[in-house]
């Protein structure tokens, strides 16, 4: 659940930081998947 400050930030910026939502290793793996998909679909290299 978002607190009032987070909700206000989301409404203002369209994005918020949620500390500890996932680990740095998880983020790195998600980034790898994203870059692989961009390369496959659009030829975009990292």
Asked if residue 40 belongs to a domain, the reply is yes
| pLDDT score recorded for residue 1 | 85
Domain count for the chain: 1
Q: What is the dihedral of CA 32, 36, 33, 2, to 10 degrees?
A: 90
Asked whether the CA dihedral 13, 18, 24, 28 is positive or negative, the reply is: negative
pTM above 0.85, yes or no: no
Range of the domain at 30: 18-46
Residues 6+ apart with CB under 8 A from 32: none
Query: Mind listing the pLDDT tens digit of every residue in the chain (46 residues)?
Result: 889 999 999 999 999 998 899 999 999 999 999 999 999 999 999 9
Is 32 domain-assigned? yes
Asked whether residue 27 is assigned to any structural domain, the reply reads yes
Q: What DSSP assignment string belongs to 32-44?
A: HHHHHHHHHHH--
């Amino acid at each position: 659940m978002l607190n009032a400050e987070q909700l206000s930030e989301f409404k203002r910026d369209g994005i918020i930081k949620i500390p500890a939502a996932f680990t740095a290793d998880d983020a790195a793996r998600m980034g790898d998947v994203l870059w692989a998909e961009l390369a496959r679909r659009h030829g975009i290299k990292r």
